[in-house]
Structure 1
Amino acid sequence: MIWWLILSALTAIPMVRLLPHFGIHKYWAAACLIPFGTLGLLWWMGIKLQELEKL
């Protein structure tokens, strides 16, 4: 369980800083605490990146 908390913190902290650049509220970084939450956020960020490139 301690490893899970460490890995969650190591992914949530950068997400708090990155998500606002993609137009996503920083509190969504809490999704890193659940399994596959980080993958979901990366997917969402990828979609937002494609939308920003079209502009």
Structure 2
Amino acid sequence: MGGIWWLILSAATAIPMIKLLPFFGINKYWAAACLIPLGTIALLWWMGLKLQELEKR
């Protein structure tokens, strides 16, 4: 039963990431990193770094 919740939460974070990552210049296939617990946090950090780069321009 716990595995089902993990899959649901992974899908709930991966689907928005697929749409957001290309905006930040990151390949959408990196959204697969949401399948591991720290992957989502790492992607959010990476997106934050890219946002800083975009603001400097």
What TM bracket, shorter-length normalisation? over 0.9
Identity of aligned residues (%): 80
Instruction: Looking at secondary structure, tell me which structure has more helix per residue.
Output: 2
Normalising by structure 2, what TM-score?
0.95
Aligned residues: 55
Moved over 6 A (4+): none
Q: RMSD over aligned Cα, in angstroms?
A: 0.3
Which consecutive unaligned segments of at least 5 residues does structure 1 have? none
Which consecutive unaligned segments of at least 5 residues does structure 2 have? none
**Among 41, 44, 47, which residue is 2:43 paired with?**
41
Normalising by structure 1, what TM-score?
0.99
